[in-house]
Amino acid sequence: MKKDQKIQDLIDGYGNWVTEKDDNKAGFTGRMSMDLFPYDSMFSPIRVNGVTLKNRLVMAPMGNIDMCEETGRPNDKMLQYFFARAKGGVGLITTGLIPVSHGIDPSITEMGGLTYFPRIDRSRTVFSGWRDLAQGVHANGCRIFIQLTAGLGRVGNPQCLINEMKFPVSASINPNFYIPQIPCLALSTGKLKKIIKNAGQATADARAAGIDGVYLHGHEGYLLEQMTNPAFNRRKLGRYSDWQMFGLDMVREMRRRGGPSYPIMYRIDLSLALNETYGEDGMSIPALKKFKNGRTIEETLEYMEHLVEAGVDMFDVDLGCYDNWWLPHPPAGMPAGCFLDISEIVRTRFQTKKILSNAGLPVPVVAVGKLGYPDIAEKAIRDGKCDMIMLGRPLLADPDWPVKAYSGNVSGIRPCIGCQEGCINEFVDGGHPQCAVNPRSGFENVIDETPVPASFPKRIAVVGGGPAGITFAVTAAKRGHKVDLYEKSGAIGGRLLPGSVPKIKYEVANYRKYLEKILAEAVAEGSVTLHLNTPVDPDQLKDKGYDSIVFAVGTVNAAPKLQGMESAKTVQAVDLLSDPSRIGGAKNIVVIGGGVVGCETAYWLAYEHGLKVTVVEMLPYLMKGVCTANRGHLIYYLKRAGVRLMNCAKVTRFENGGVTVSCNTSKGVPDPYNTWQPILPENIENPLAPKIGDSVTEETLPADLVVLALGGRPDDRLFYRAQEIHAANELFNIGDSFGAGKVLEATRAAITLTYKI
Ligand SMILES: Cc1cc2nc3c(=O)[nH]c(=O)nc-3n(C[C@H](O)[C@H](O)[C@H](O)COP(=O)(O)O)c2cc1C
Ligand code: SF4
């Protein structure tokens, strides 16, 4: 089995970094510091073939799924979304993936020929949308490249088989990612040549529409990579049995149609990192075993040199693929700047070999992955780890990141929290890109950037100082309302307080600081009065005569009543995180509840406290509903820390200093450590999924501390009491106390309400 030691070290480090004692030395924990201000390296121009970019900041491609009309013409949602980022100061925008294989890759087209992907391959029907987009981006002094994809191949939705009796496709016969029992059929050379022709035509069309360059989607195991990585391309015959040839032919055709000075960018992963992730044993799993022969670092670098000869002007580089999805979509738990060592390898090679593009220019290497920290980004360029910085989620969270970094307002940047609730998970569930911390993201066409002053300023009480309460209070104050914010504890943040204790949640700590700052500003202006340590009673609020009262009080922890429980030492996960001294010398810990709070607490106990931990979950899957990348990262490294994960397992009683669990051990119970396959959304049925039987065994787990992480129920008691006594004319219940359950829904509710009240 081929393994790269450099990649292996990175894979090991993506879990272990939390054990590093000195955060600053490790440089992994991203902080919104500004020690290196002014950021002269980030804000210096760079030339890419015929185009000059005003700075080194690139907006990452993020699929513009459902941001188009049914024809594929970009709609106003997409236009305003990009205009906001262009105005925010980024030098180059790249669109999300735009397929050029409709009619060839059945997974990208919906029934009835509809599409949720914007299209550029329908000539005049869609051109006006692209022209408007390019012109509006240019009007803000920014450039835009369009990301073209050959298709999804094996990582596409296999429902095309059920809906249209069409098998998904790939380079060779490969298992589908979502349902590995479904084979993807190998595309013929003729169809592959058609995709290449389409990519050339799309290049010519993009140029005609005023788009500044084209960008190939060659990473993460999509169809272009399936053709250009021997892990997936095991063809024996024909031109494309040479795994480099499809990519090279595509670039040559794009260069031919785009002309010599039209920029071509290429996105590549240095390695799939599958062998390094799963090792010999893992790679014998049926869903993975065909993929052992991935490109080595050296093979990738050679391929990149050939791509430059064929016409590529610029690259961005990452790591991994769908089957280890936490790499290309690094979630909360991954360290900041996680792929800087990867871009450095490429840049060093290009510098050493003096690689120049066909235009005679150095080939810029763009780094990506959790780089939303101005000091880390600036240092990466200064240290020669990359030429440019790509920002994806940081620009969803705050489109004005570049302008704020340039002007030294770093603490004013709204940080991404790595949750992937609003961005990736919205796609999976059928939505469009959004953001948990920025409720305007993806709604720029309907939510004004600056809230309009209220016609009738009101006196408003807000109860609860979590994300929903603060977002509401600060925005309502901007509209001219007078707000009293009541928080029963001594600090604002709500669940963000315990939620930011584990090191893997450093981004949540940043977000909490940001909320503190914007609230402090509103308090200093006199538009919000903060009442800490002030539990409220609806009857007292009524006496104060508010026009409106907004309840955002969160949840009450669920606490099971089980036989013998009074004899055991138990603690709620949130209380333990708030007060780690409650670990109290325990060595064996059982966490009841394998949702995200339970698993993050287990991670913290195992890595940061070195304890032996077992997680018990009643459902077949741990962390159901959590983004596959976030789930995958936690599960993979929980396994490596020796944490025992038990699914389909129910605690029945506490006895003899332990926890007795009845556990379903039948064959169909999913492997709790499976990180190479996603959980299918509930509305998709997998007829091939093994049925779960009901053979149950009992086991008593030693436990000197039992951590309860069973979630919470909405705490709507105050709201209903207020309603009963008519405490004010307008009463609202938002966020977790309404049952939101996610930061995304809590902040969305806060903004929606604030703009109306
Ligand atoms: C919502 C979302 C959609 C994405 N869609 C694409 C895509 O269309 N094409 C692509 O190459 N990468 C896509 N990515 C990956 C990003 O371009 C980027 O590599 C990743 O988010 C890591 O960068 P970040 O930490 O700055 O967000 C997507 C990421 C997100 C969050
Ligand atoms: S939804 Fe979460 S991960 Fe995605 S951009 Fe927003 S804060 Fe970041």
pLDDT tens for each residue of 70-82: 999 999 999 999 9
Q: Decide if 111 contacts 57 (C-beta within 8 A).
A: no
pLDDT band at 274 (very low <50, low <70, confident <90, very high): very high
List, in sequence order, every residue forming a beta bridge with 705; answer none if it has no partner. Answer: 589
pLDDT band at 756 (very low <50, low <70, confident <90, very high): confident
* 415 CB near ligand 1 (under 6 Å): no
Looking at the CA of 419, name the nearest ligand: 2
Rounded to whole angstroms, how far apart are CA atoms 405 and 521? 19
DSSP state of 496: H
Probe target for ligand 2 pocket from 32, 401, 423, with the most ligand atoms within 8 Å of CB: 423
* 62 CB near ligand 1 (under 6 Å): yes
Rounded percentage of the chain residues whose pLDDT exceeds 90? 90
Q: Which residues contact 59 (CB under 8 A, 6 or more apart)?
A: 85, 90, 92, 93, 94, 390, 391, 392, 395
Distance 332 CA to ligand 2 centre (A): 9
Ligand 1 atom with minimal separation from the 60 CA = 17
Which pLDDT belongs to residue 22? 67
Which residues approach ligand 2 with their CB closer than 6 A?
393, 396-397, 416-423, 435-437
Probe target for ligand 1 pocket from 329, 417, 432, with the most ligand atoms within 8 Å of CB: 329
**Residue 301: how many other CB atoms lie within 10 Å:** 18
Encoded tokens for 250: 């595509």
Strand, coil or helix: 700:
strand
Which pLDDT belongs to residue 681? 84
Judge whether residue 21 has pLDDT over 80.
Answer: no
Distance of CA 461 to the CA centre of its chain: 34
Between the alpha carbon of residue 552 and those of residues 141, 474, 483, the distances in Å are: 41, 14, 14
Judge whether residue 690 has pLDDT over 90.
Answer: no
List, in sequence order, every residue forming a beta bridge with 224; answer none if it has no partner. Answer: none
Integer-rounded Cα radius of gyration of the chain: 26
Judge whether residue 26 has pLDDT over 60.
Answer: no
DSSP state of 582: G
* 330 CB near ligand 1 (under 6 Å): yes
Rounded to whole angstroms, how far apart are CA atoms 8 and 28? 18
Judge whether residue 586 has pLDDT over 80.
Answer: yes
What's the burial of 165, exposed, middle or buried (CB within 10 Å: 0-12/13-18/19+)?
exposed
Q: Pick the range with the lowest mean pLDDT from 89-103, 146-160, 698-712, 736-750.
A: 736-750
Strand, coil or helix: 86:
helix
- DSSP string of 605-673, one letter each residue: IIIIH--EEEEE-SSSSTTTTS-HHHHHHHHHHHHHTT-EEE-SEEEEEEETTEEEEEEE--TTSPPTT
Strand, coil or helix: 317:
strand
Ligand 1 atom with minimal separation from the 371 CA = 26
Residue nearest to atom 7 of ligand 2 (CA): 416
* 423 CB near ligand 1 (under 6 Å): yes
Q: Decide if 659 contacts 565 (C-beta within 8 A).
A: no
Q: In the predicted model, what is the mean pLDDT of residues 616-634?
A: 97
Strand, coil or helix: 297:
helix
Q: Decide if 753 contacts 550 (C-beta within 8 A).
A: yes
Distance 451 CA to ligand 2 centre (A): 22
Q: In the predicted model, what is the mean pLDDT of residues 10-17?
A: 94
Distance 503 CA to ligand 2 centre (A): 18
* 495 CB near ligand 1 (under 6 Å): no
Helix axes 189-208, 124-139, angle to 10 degrees: 50
Which pLDDT belongs to residue 113? 85
Between the alpha carbon of residue 119 and those of residues 65, 302, 431, the distances in Å are: 11, 32, 18
Distance 417 CA to ligand 2 centre (A): 6
Rounded to whole angstroms, how far apart are CA atoms 752 and 262? 43
Most distant CA pair in the chain, distance: 83
Judge whether residue 731 has pLDDT over 60.
Answer: yes
Encoded tokens for 246: 């499809």
Q: Decide if 647 contacts 619 (C-beta within 8 A).
A: yes
Distance 449 CA to ligand 1 centre (A): 24
Amino acid at 393: R
Element (H, E) at 97: strand 92-99
* 342 CB near ligand 1 (under 6 Å): no
Distance 586 CA to ligand 2 centre (A): 35
Alpha helices in 455-505 (DSSP H): 467-478, 496-499
Rounded percentage of the chain residues whose pLDDT exceeds 70? 99
Residue nearest to atom 23 of ligand 1 (CA): 369
Judge whether residue 23 has pLDDT over 70.
Answer: no
Ligand 2 atom with minimal separation from the 396 CA = 5
pTM for this model (two decimals): 0.97
* 439 CB near ligand 1 (under 6 Å): no
Which pLDDT belongs to residue 162? 86
The pLDDT tens digits for 173-220 are 999 999 999 999 999 999 999 999 999 999 999 999 999 999 999 999
Measured between its terminal Cα atoms, the distance across the chain in Å is 62
Q: Decide if 189 contacts 240 (C-beta within 8 A).
A: yes
Distance 334 CA to ligand 1 centre (A): 15
Distance 415 CA to ligand 2 centre (A): 9
Which pLDDT belongs to residue 25? 54
pLDDT band at 684 (very low <50, low <70, confident <90, very high): confident
The pLDDT tens digits for 275-302 are 999 999 999 999 999 999 999 999 999 9
Distance 63 CA to ligand 1 centre (A): 7
Distance 441 CA to ligand 1 centre (A): 15
Which pLDDT belongs to residue 27? 63
Q: Decide if 175 contacts 183 (C-beta within 8 A).
A: yes
Q: Pick the range with the lowest mean pLDDT from 21-30, 226-235, 471-480.
A: 21-30
Q: In the predicted model, what is the mean pLDDT of residues 229-234?
A: 98
* 57 CB near ligand 1 (under 6 Å): no
Amino acid at 208: A
Distance 393 CA to ligand 2 centre (A): 6
Distance 557 CA to ligand 1 centre (A): 35
Judge whether residue 393 has pLDDT over 70.
Answer: yes
* 432 CB near ligand 1 (under 6 Å): no
Residue nearest to atom 2 of ligand 1 (CA): 62
Q: In the predicted model, what is the mean pLDDT of residues 725-731?
A: 98
Closest by alpha carbon to 576, among 512, 645, 501, 646? 501
Judge whether residue 383 has pLDDT over 90.
Answer: yes
Return mean pLDDT, the chain. 95
Judge whether residue 325 has pLDDT over 90.
Answer: yes
> How does strand 548-551 pair with strand 459-463?
parallel
* 61 CB near ligand 1 (under 6 Å): yes
Rounded to whole angstroms, how far apart are CA atoms 380 and 365? 12
- DSSP string of 181-249, one letter each residue: TSEEEEPPHHHHHHHHHHHHHHHHHHHHTT--EEEEE--BT-HHHHHSSTTT----SSGGGSTTHHHHH
> How does strand 143-149 pair with strand 174-175?
unpaired
Helix axes 506-525, 467-478, angle to 10 degrees: 30
The pLDDT tens digits for 541-578 are 999 999 999 999 999 998 888 899 998 999 999 999 99
**Residue 172: how many other CB atoms lie within 10 Å:** 20
Q: Decide if 75 contacts 81 (C-beta within 8 A).
A: no
Rounded to whole angstroms, how far apart are CA atoms 160 and 166? 6
Rounded to whole angstroms, how far apart are CA atoms 703 and 705? 5
Which pLDDT belongs to residue 24? 58
Q: In the predicted model, what is the mean pLDDT of residues 727-734?
A: 97
The pair phi, psi for residue 321, each rounded to 5°, is -155, -170
* 370 CB near ligand 1 (under 6 Å): yes
Judge whether residue 232 has pLDDT over 70.
Answer: yes
Rounded to whole angstroms, how far apart are CA atoms 353 and 303? 14
